[in-house]
Structure 1
Amino acid sequence: MTTYQDGTPAPEVLRYAAFTTDPAGGNPAGVVLDAAGLDDTAMLAIAAELGYSETAFLTARDSGAPSAPARAYDVRYFSPKAEVPFCGHATVAAAVALAERDGSAPADGYVFATPAGTVPVAVDSADGTPRATLTSVAPRVAAAGADDVAEALAALGWDAGELDAGLPPRIAFAGARHLVLAAATRERLAALDYDFARLEALMRRLDLTTVQLVWRASADVFHVRDPFPVGGVVEDPATGAAAAAFGAYARELGLVPAATVLTLHQGDDMGRPGVLTVTLREGDERVRVSGTAVRIPA
């Protein structure tokens, strides 16, 4: 067991790639399955040393039966620079890590108590590949101020005429806040070279976790990218929280049927392709985000 200099046991940090079956694809996440005893400083230090966009820290709640595996966990998420209220890809990674450690996931799934609210997560390995599905907290969508959109475009180096008028800017939330901006062309989305400090300043003022940049390829297929300067990361390769927020956005604006399944491709332009599945159910405001995850070899 690894220990700190003072002899205190160091927690095991697992590494998983989420929304992919390739360890070199998707979005890498750190997972600490037993974070009991770690304070904020220790968690931030682990996340910073690991350098991934987020690391999930889990603390099991009492299962109620001595021999039963815990299914409820308190979960916190840290980027290399700060704590974030919710992270989708680290949630998927953590749920798959739990299922692999336990041999299988509980039939009724896991329950993650996050700073953003309670997030149920199911894990299905019917085809031999672990696939996790998270159910978001209640989402909401709000208008984006014209001046704020203009500042975001300036930081990105985009012109207003390069936006898709059919997908207007909005701020969407499903556990974390994201500014949704839609590019009119795939080429505009692919050419991402932004002012890190300027976009970070705007995002901090608006309390945004990422900017969700999207391009609509077809009725239910989108390509997305997520600058993440507030986390100390230029770009997030696959963003489950933003995918959930985007599902709420698409439904709120009537872009998709009330019950539908969307496919989001992310990470292609970074050489880390991943696929996120977003499911909307009629009569249920919550958004479901699904994806695979695979252990990254040490």
Structure 2
Amino acid sequence: MTDPSPHVLRYAAFTHDPDGGNPAGIVLDAAGLGDAEMLRIAAEVGYAETAFVTGEHDGVRDIRYFSPIAEVPFCGHATVATAIALAERDGPGRVRFATPVGEVPMETTRTAGRLVASFTSVEPRLEPMPEHVLDELLDLVGLDADALDERHPPRISFAGNRHPVLVVADGAAFDGVSFDPARARALMDEHGWPATITVLHRLDDGPDGRLRFEARNIFPVGAIVEDPATGAAAAAVGGYLRALGAVTPPARVVIAQGRHVGRPSELVVDIPERGGIVVSGSAVPIG
């Protein structure tokens, strides 16, 4: 008989502060859980996603992700949190996850006393954004086309999930983005976007010359309307920048997120010349 109350860990990802980053639920032993049970647990946890480790074979752990309303093909912050939880239990090293979108290898290391996890996304790809879709998105967030950054044109980017990407030129306009969650959810369901709508603002380059962005990720699920840290979107942004020639690989990009929802986070994105995008961050237990 399935345990009706499996042990759920709660971690904040892409932060060193339990009050920052993106909360994720984690069930390390979910082999006996069915889809309805995992969805129920994710809804009870109430975070953007809960990760379920459903089995292991040949050193590869099967993992699935559920938001409070549906299964999600891939979730970066919950993957990072799960890898950190395993590293705390088993020690740092390499972990391989079999996700619904393909195998995602992880590396966990200890740096300055803190565990850091890095995942390598599946092969990214870029799609054009149809004009009518761009019009719908701009209307959703209350922006005109001339508010967009000409250096970074709108696209739909995939690195595990399909994310529409908008880059806003002006910081005040970026801060002023607002949207109706129900309308955003309807638009995402209509276009088959299972994760977030990604809105970026390019900051001044860091002292090391690296590109820096701030991100807002629209993700209306239950009580959540905006995601504090989105690893899958960060990977998609890395693929987007490489495909557009906005960086010269190998390159590192830093993305700040979560300021607008009171849970600041930082995601480090490494962009190789080819292959998957590497996203790194820390995670800490909540409570």
TM bucket (normalised to shorter chain) is over 0.9
Instruction: Compute the displacement of 1:8 (Å).
Output: 3.4
- Find the counterpart in structure 1 of residue 92 from structure 2: 105
Quick one: which amino acid aligns to residue 105 of structure 1? P
Inter-CA distance 230–28: structure 2 relative to 1 (3 Å threshold): closer
Task: Determine whether 1:164 maps to 2:149.
Answer: yes
1:1-298, aligned counterparts within 5 Å?
8=3, 10-62=5-57, 71-102=59-90, 104-106=91-93, 109-208=94-193, 209-219=195-205, 220-229=211-220, 233-282=224-273, 284-297=274-287
When the two chains are superposed, the root-mean-square deviation of aligned CA atoms in Å is: 1.5
| SS of equivalent to 1:130 | strand
* Identical-residue share of aligned pairs (%): 51
CA contact (8 A) 1:29 1:89 kept: yes
Question: How far does the alpha carbon of each residue in 1:237-294 deviate from its partner, in whole angstroms, 9 at most, with x for none?
Answer: 0000000000000111111112100000000121111000000112x22100000000
CA contact (8 A) 2:154 2:167 kept: yes
Distance (whole Å) between structure 1 residues aligned to residue 57 and residue 192 of structure 2: 34
Quick one: which amino acid aligns to residue 288 of structure 1? V
CA contact (8 A) 2:2 2:33 kept: no
Structure 2's unaligned 5+ residue stretches are 206-210
Structure 1's unaligned 5+ residue stretches are 1-5, 64-70
Distance (whole Å) between structure 2 residues aligned to residue 94 and residue 128 of structure 1: 18
- Find the counterpart in structure 2 of residue 66 from structure 1: none
Instruction: Compute the displacement of 1:174 (Å).
Output: 0.3
Distance (whole Å) between structure 2 residues aligned to residue 203 and residue 74 of structure 1: 27
CA contact (8 A) 2:143 2:177 kept: no
| SS of equivalent to 2:37 | helix
CA contact (8 A) 1:82 1:231 kept: no
TM-score (norm 1): 0.91
TM-score (norm 2): 0.94
Inter-CA distance 150–266: structure 2 relative to 1 (3 Å threshold): same
Instruction: Compute the displacement of 1:125 (Å).
Output: 1.0
Instruction: Compute the displacement of 1:232 (Å).
Output: 6.3
Distance (whole Å) between structure 2 residues aligned to residue 134 and residue 47 of structure 1: 22
Quick one: which amino acid aligns to residue 29 of structure 1? A
CA contact (8 A) 1:204 1:230 kept: no
Q: Which moved more, 1:126-135 or 1:238-247?
A: 126-135
Instruction: Compute the displacement of 1:7 (Å).
Output: 8.6
